[in-house]
Amino acid sequence: MSMIDKINKELMELQKELDQLHHYSQQIGEAKDASSKVVKASEAFVASFKERVSAVTDAMEKAALEFTTTTRSAEDQFTQAKEMFLKGIQESRASLSEIQSHLDVAAGNVRDMAELLKGMNIPAQFQKVQDSLLSIERMVSTQGSDVSSRLTAMEQSLASSKSTQTILLVVSILVLIGVVVILVLR
CB 130 within 8 A of CB 123: no
Question: Does 64 share its domain with 126?
Answer: no
Residue 123 buriedness (CB in 10 A; 0-12 / 13-18 / 19+): exposed
**pLDDT confidence band for 52 (50 / 70 / 90):** very high
Question: Does 51 share its domain with 129?
Answer: no
Question: Does 87 share its domain with 1?
Answer: yes
Question: Does 145 share its domain with 68?
Answer: no
Q: Let me know if residue 27 belongs to a domain.
A: yes
Residue 161 exposure: Cα atoms within 13 Å on the Cβ side: 16
Question: Does 78 share its domain with 138?
Answer: no
pLDDT of 80 higher than 90: yes
Q: Let me know if residue 112 belongs to a domain.
A: no
Q: Let me know if residue 127 belongs to a domain.
A: yes
pLDDT of 171 higher than 80: no
Which pLDDT score, from 0 to 100, does residue 105 have?
Answer: 81
Number of domains in the chain: 2
Residue 146 φ/ψ, nearest 5 degrees: -85, 5
Q: Let me know if residue 31 belongs to a domain.
A: yes
pLDDT of 151 higher than 60: no
Residue 109 φ/ψ, nearest 5 degrees: -65, -40
Q: Let me know if residue 108 belongs to a domain.
A: no
Question: Does 3 share its domain with 88?
Answer: yes
In a 3-state reduction of DSSP, which class is residue 38? helix
Q: Residue 32 is part of which domain span?
A: 1-93
DSSP 8-state secondary structure symbol assigned to residue 161:
-
pLDDT of 62 higher than 90: yes
Chain-wide mean pLDDT for the chain?
Answer: 80
